[in-house]
Amino acid sequence: MLNIIICGAPGCGKGTQSDLIVGKYNLKHLSTGDLLRKEIAEKSELGITAESYISKGNLVPDEMIINILSKNIEAFDNDINGMILDGFPRTVAQAEALQTMLSNSGKEISTLLDLSVEKDELIDRLLKRGQTSGRSDDNLETIQKRLEVYELQTAPVSDFYKKLGKYAAVDGMGSVEEIFGRIASILDSKK
């Protein structure tokens, strides 16, 4: 089983690379952002609460994220080779909760892929995406807040996985294909 976490600052290409990884390795893609946007679109109680955090550039509380993710991990098909988590864990507390949740079901994380992209490039990518995505969080003020929150709260997750020997830095600059080539060589060594 190949259970991967893909992380990096907003705009680093997690979603794009996740799609390529899913296609090549037959993994289930679990994006907390997509799961939350689905809840928001359905105007569920969880979605309404989550939107109040997201629209201000803040992280949704751990308990809400863990509950929605747990439901989706339990719904795994047996014909897949593992999963890729995109957008989770974002805090050390979430990483610890994930470890517990997975070990209770006999699973573990294989590696954390950390995509690094220069800050100016991240802002450019997100502003361009905002012109076509319709996402309320792709404006300059919210982008800067999201990058700040990422540095403060999410970056320590990398240290957590470094201590476990399950961390891989990936240069996120260059073409989609170049970046995927770097990722594939890391994942092929984990099989």
Q: From the annotation, which residues make up the binding site for ATP?
A: 11-16, 129, 174
Catalytic residue among 38, 107, 129, 166: 129
* Residue 75: strand pairing partners: none
pLDDT in tens, 49-82: 999 988 887 878 888 888 888 877 777 766 789 9
Catalytic residue among 38, 135, 162, 166: 135
Is 146 a catalytic site residue? yes
**DSSP designation for 90:** -
For residues 83 and 28, the answer to whether their CB atoms sit within 8 Å is yes
For residues 42 and 146, the answer to whether their CB atoms sit within 8 Å is no
| Residue 69 CB coordination number (10 Å) | 21
Q: From the annotation, which residues make up the binding site for AMP?
A: 32, 37, 58-60, 87-90, 94, 135, 146
pLDDT at 109 over 90: yes
% of the chain residues with pLDDT over 90: 47
| Residue 79 CB coordination number (10 Å) | 6
Q: Hey, what CATH topology would domain 2-183 get?
A: Rossmann fold (3.40.50)
> Would you list the domain boundaries of the chain?
2-183
Is 182 a catalytic site residue? no
* pTM above threshold 0.85: no
Q: From the annotation, which residues make up the binding site?
A: 11-16, 32, 37, 58-60, 87-90, 94, 129, 135, 146, 174
Cα four-point dihedral sign 125, 149, 166, 1: negative
| Sequential DSSP letters for 32-61 | HHHHHHHHHHTT-HHHHHHHHHHTTTPPPP
